[in-house]
Amino acid sequence: MVLVYDFDDREREADMTIASQFITADALRTMRHDAGGLVCTTTPNRIAAELGLPFLSDVFWDARKKYPLLESMAPNDIPYDNTKSSFGVTINHRKTYTGITDADRALTISEYVKTIFGDSPTEQKIRELGANFRAPGHVHLLNTTKNILKTRRGHTELCTALMYMAGVHPSATLCEMMGDNGGATNKACVMEYAEKNDMQFITGDEIIEAWDEYLERTGADL
């Protein structure tokens, strides 16, 4: 796992991050104990669009005529972001029980990643997602925006970009690091934790610099 701090002028938070394909119950336990925020799993925008995995804000917006309160609750005033929330739907694998245990969430995440990055045609992946997962559930999906780190620079995009550059499936499972004072763990404490636990501490600025070089070198359109 690595620790990703975004920016001093944004959330000012660090997320504990791991490539979703390597998630385990032990990793989730570490996230719960040492990070303490919300565990989420990212999906690249292009894949989410192909499979019909929506932004949750779009689902709520489309349902506003039936549930008018949803329109007035639209996330159009996020103080650190000019784009909509990256939250997607929530899921459980159908072989889980409650879905919230470390083992259950590890199963949901690992099977989700196997499915969306598999070699099957898109229509088959859609059928497999419907057959093997239920929604809502206990794993929160996050969809990246188009043009990663160009249109939005949140942890969803920062951590997904890391996975692209690492050559693994471009999905990150992440969890915000919370402090004992009820707020986010401050930057200095996160750096201290990283050193103590032999983890890498990476800033958003470092990721963006590397990402720009990656796109120039590969010509990737992400």
The catalytically annotated residue of 34, 128, 138, 186 is: 138
The catalytically annotated residue of 45, 102, 176, 193 is: 176
Catalytic status, residue 11: no
Give the pLDDT confidence score for residue 82 in this predicted structure: 65
Give the pLDDT confidence score for residue 7 in this predicted structure: 86
Number of domains in the chain: 1
Do residues 6 and 12 make contact, with C-beta atoms less than 8 angstroms apart? yes
Q: What is the 3-state secondary structure (H, E, C) of the chain?
A: CEEEECCCCCCCCEEEEEEHHHCCHHHHHHHHHHHECCCEEEECHHHHHHHCCCEHHHHHHHCCCCCCHHHHCCCCCCCCCCCCCCEEEEEEECCCCCCCCHHHHHHHHHHHHHHHCCCCCHHHHHHHHHHHEEEEEEEEEEECCCCCCCCCCCHHHHHHHHHHHHCCCCCEEEEEEECCCCCECCHHHHHHHHHHCCCEEEEHHHHHHHHHHHHHHHCCCC
Catalytic status, residue 176: yes
Give the pLDDT confidence score for residue 21 in this predicted structure: 98
- Residue ranges in the chain whose pLDDT is less than 70: 82-83
Give the pLDDT confidence score for residue 24 in this predicted structure: 98
Give the pLDDT confidence score for residue 12 in this predicted structure: 86
CATH at 122: 3.90.870.10
The catalytically annotated residue of 26, 50, 71, 80 is: 80
Domain region containing 26: 2-218
The catalytically annotated residue of 11, 13, 40, 93 is: 40
The catalytically annotated residue of 15, 102, 104, 157 is: 15
Catalytic status, residue 111: no
Give the pLDDT confidence score for residue 80 in this predicted structure: 75
Give the pLDDT confidence score for residue 83 in this predicted structure: 66
